[in-house]
Structure 1
Amino acid sequence: MSTAELRSWLRSPDVKRFPYGAVVREYHSAGKHFVAPELLELLATVRELLPGLRGPWPHVQALAAFLTTALDKPDKRYDYPTYLALPLLQLPAPDDPVEQAPFARTRCDRLTAQLVSDALAFELAALDGRTTLLPQARPDAVVVRKRFRHGLRVLLPALARMSLDAGLTATEPVDLARQACAAVRGDMSYAERRAVGLSILPVYTMHDEYLFLRVLQGFETTFALIATHLRGAIAALGEGEVERAVHFMGSSETALRESSPLFSMLATMQVESFRTFRDFTEGASAIQSRNYKLLESLCRRPDPDRVESAAYRSVPDVRERVLGDQPTLDEAYRAMCESDVVAEDARKPLADAMDSFARTLLRWRRTHYRLAVRMLGEVPGTGYTEGTPYLRAVRDIPVFHSVRVEDGADHETADDHETTGAP
């Protein structure tokens, strides 16, 4: 059916009328890894026509972004960004004007709320028997309830900042999830609904891959926000505005901390389900996360051996920024201290904020490692990486050199125990 609709569209192409629904249904029914060659050939034809198609730029841009992720496997350029459909999500970018940094929080709150609520909406639809999407290995009601509880912990702070929490009166996680999903859905624009709807192209038909994709997209949103705020903090120090830099660092730490329940959501994945769809994700690995590497390299310049490692060679655009002497917060703070322009007592709030952020990031890395070991064991990763041994090796890399991180990064929170399944 999707090929028939696409052939019909090609007879009179109009970017505003592209049959997204039919194409996405085909991807969902088979999984991206198993899409019929005939459909892939037709989509490649659409892409060839795209430069000559007329229409509103947002529609052209959306179709181009969709084709980028839909055709990544036949193009043999499948990787982490295309697996997550990041071109469709339009995250804050490193070349955005730094003056936009104060507004990135609102932009990323909206996207985080949309992604997490969509993950919960899928669980609700499956629980209610309203969907046949990704039918294999549905989790039981106990697991789904945990997903609602952890997802709401991410969602509710964002909804409060968006002033969408007034009607959230339920006390049971399932009922509260229904209310939260309805609130977010009712607040979304047409363009936002389209982007979220098109950004879920699982490689196979296992239920848990939906959650996996949305959680990783949520983390990418958080990393992009933090990278934007780090750039804002660096610019603020360059202008001698320490309080503004402190604000950006506090917001960064809050964003990372509020995203931590996403790990708990991931921990509810069924191990066998994860290992099944993972077989079809070869070529895509979190080591290819540009947003995380940008975050890391804005904190301080990576050590030479890390710059030359597969981690940075897998994100050549970020590596080029590092080699091009990209400014870092570490350097900006050190320069401020050496200049004596700002008194030591006035510098302390910034040092404290940097310390708090560093401890939260170290805890994030260690939780990531523990969860990866739980799901994979000590086996090679996808995307030609070393998997959990790599995560073990990089989990304690210092975030800053100019600020001493107080002991305590190893202290596990209650959430860490829940995430790793520890007693």
Structure 2
Amino acid sequence: MNTDALRHWLAGPPTSHRFPYEQTIDAFHHYGKHAMPEDWLNLLKTARDRLPTVTGPRERLAAFLSTALDKADNRFDYRSYLALPLLPIPDPDTAGEHTDRLMVRRDRHHVLLLADLIGFELHALDGTRNPLPQLRPSAPVVRKRLRHAVRATVPALRRLSFATPLDDDPLSAARRLTAMVCVDRSSADRMTLRTTMLPVSTVHDEYLFIRTLQAFELCFAQLAVDLTAVRTAVGDNRLPAAGNRLCLAATLLRETAPMWSLLATMQPEAFHAFRENTDGASAIQSRAYKLVESLCRTPDPQRLHSVAYRSVPDVQARIRGGHASIDDTLDAIRADQHVIASTPTLADGMRQFTAALRQWRRTHHRLAVRMLGTETTGTGATPGTPYLRQNLDTTVFRRRTTTAHRATG
């Protein structure tokens, strides 16, 4: 993989639209981020230094170079590993668009991510492309992987009014899905998909790992928007509306179940092979998940000062600064157990969301134990599976959940 295209860009007037994304990304797929040659890294650093002189929109280029150089700069983490700054991750503080529009965007990018994964698996199976050639899975494993990946797109496809490509043959369904999504995919979508796949290794299953985690992050970011709307509805004393929104959030979380089955097709030996180079990036650093958790109820002091919240200092600071949770807002309007019990929609929403989040945690723990064992620490000396086990039953909402469960039978 030569650097000619990048040298040519640096030699001429640097414009954002001329940057050789394709050749640069191909190099990352050829070497893996952890093993990128020094000449490539030095040229990319030079490109970053020239950003102030770049003409044309340069926000994406700046974000891409920041993500590409995270290991070289010794600031590699979960956010940069998953290239989250290059994905349309909604933030409840800045999400000014209508809720329905945000959900459409989430569904669309959820489908794009999984269709891209499906296309990668099909190309490898057909032998038409050769990136990430190490430890490729067997054909039966790929067929199972494709079946789960297609299933994971179905709810979003239905909301987007697309045909659902369910088929007895997973290969046929997968090919139909990729063909359908390709027709609707824009040049901006293709750029997003290309720039958000910078694996640390050349191990085949890392593609699956990155795309699935990106889809989870989109889901939890949308849930954070939903729970913020629930908190607002409670504050306005619109308790039935809050309950309806919680039920929708629970549905979205339950829809992630096939993604766990998809991730479970990852080969343990492949996971351990690329995990050696992910030190510093841990899911404990997920900002979206901590927002969801803290929007339900304010963490206890012990948890707030644990490694879980130290890993997301901005969320920790928000809570210390008086960030209100749904529980806090219920307290503020003096919503006692009787009020919740007499609002069955809210009671049902709290029960459903609690059950969905606890199921998500349990499934996460089971898969982590399968891949890592029962006592293995996480990357970057994070607590790993023992931490997940300790937090399986962390309270979602306070004692109201029990009352809500009784109220709904």
TM-score over 0.5 for the pair = yes
Q: How far is 1:98 from its partner?
A: 5.5
Q: CA RMSD in A?
A: 2.0
Deviation track 1:212-235 (CA, whole Å, cap 9, x = no partner) reads 001110110110010000001111
Q: Which residue of 2 aligns with 1:35?
A: 36
Query: Quick one: which of 300, 309, 314 aligns to 2:311?
Result: 314
2:329 aligned with 1:328: no
> What 5-or-longer segments of structure 1 have no aligned partner?
409-423
TM-score for both structures, normalised by structure 1 = 0.91
- On the 8 A contact 1:136/1:207 being kept in 2, the answer is yes
- 1:73-152 equivalences under 5 Å are 73-97=71-95, 100-152=98-150
- 1:271-420 equivalences under 5 Å are 271-338=268-335, 347-377=343-373, 378-405=375-402
2:244 aligned with 1:247: yes
Matches of 1:88 and 1:99, distance apart in 2: 19
Matches of 1:334 and 1:89, distance apart in 2: 36
Q: Which residue of 2 aligns with 1:269?
A: 266
Matches of 2:86 and 2:239, distance apart in 1: 35
- Secondary structure in 2 matching 1:76: coil
2:15 aligned with 1:22: no
Q: Which residue of 2 aligns with 1:412?
A: none
> What 5-or-longer segments of structure 2 have no aligned partner?
none
Matches of 2:141 and 2:276, distance apart in 1: 23
Query: Quick one: which of 193, 212, 216 aligns to 1:215?
Result: 212
Matches of 2:7 and 2:347, distance apart in 1: 61
Matches of 2:185 and 2:398, distance apart in 1: 42
Matches of 1:265 and 1:134, distance apart in 2: 19
- On the 8 A contact 2:25/2:198 being kept in 1, the answer is yes
Matches of 1:407 and 1:2, distance apart in 2: 62
- State the AA in 2 paired with 1:10: L
Matches of 1:97 and 1:209, distance apart in 2: 31
Cα distance change of structure 1 residues 237 and 204 upon mapping to structure 2, 3 Å threshold: same
Query: Quick one: which of 207, 214, 233 aligns to 1:236?
Result: 233
Cα distance change of structure 1 residues 240 and 303 upon mapping to structure 2, 3 Å threshold: same
Q: How far is 1:334 from its partner?
A: 3.5
Matches of 1:128 and 1:122, distance apart in 2: 10
- On the 8 A contact 1:2/1:23 being kept in 2, the answer is no
Matches of 2:263 and 2:340, distance apart in 1: 43
Q: Which residue of 1 aligns with 2:255?
A: 258
2:9 aligned with 1:9: yes
Cα distance change of structure 1 residues 406 and 184 upon mapping to structure 2, 3 Å threshold: farther
- On the 8 A contact 1:7/1:42 being kept in 2, the answer is yes
2:199 aligned with 1:195: no
- Secondary structure in 1 matching 2:379: coil
Matches of 1:22 and 1:136, distance apart in 2: 21
- State the AA in 1 paired with 2:46: T
Deviation track 1:346-397 (CA, whole Å, cap 9, x = no partner) reads 5221111111111110111011111101001121110220211111111110
- On the 8 A contact 2:341/2:404 being kept in 1, the answer is no
Q: Percent identity?
A: 48
Matches of 2:305 and 2:166, distance apart in 1: 52
Matches of 2:370 and 2:142, distance apart in 1: 19
Deviation track 1:246-276 (CA, whole Å, cap 9, x = no partner) reads 2321221111111121111111111111101
TM-score for both structures, normalised by structure 2 = 0.94
Cα distance change of structure 1 residues 278 and 169 upon mapping to structure 2, 3 Å threshold: closer
Deviation track 1:309-357 (CA, whole Å, cap 9, x = no partner) reads 11101110111111111121112233445389x9656522111111111
> After the TM superposition, which segments of 4 or more aligned residues of structure 1 sit over 6 Å from their partners?
none
- Secondary structure in 2 matching 1:338: coil
- Secondary structure in 2 matching 1:73: coil
Deviation track 1:74-130 (CA, whole Å, cap 9, x = no partner) reads 111000000000011020013214663343211110111011111111111111111
Q: How far is 1:141 from its partner?
A: 1.4
- Secondary structure in 2 matching 1:148: helix
Matches of 1:333 and 1:51, distance apart in 2: 49
Q: Which residue of 1 aligns with 2:46?
A: 45
Q: Which residue of 2 aligns with 1:415?
A: none
- State the AA in 2 paired with 1:3: T
- State the AA in 1 paired with 2:395: P
2:50 aligned with 1:54: no
Cα distance change of structure 1 residues 80 and 124 upon mapping to structure 2, 3 Å threshold: same
Q: How far is 1:181 from its partner?
A: 1.4
- Secondary structure in 2 matching 1:160: helix
Q: Which residue of 1 aligns with 2:157?
A: 159
Deviation track 1:10-45 (CA, whole Å, cap 9, x = no partner) reads 122110111001000110001000001111111111
2:180 aligned with 1:183: yes
- State the AA in 2 paired with 1:361: L
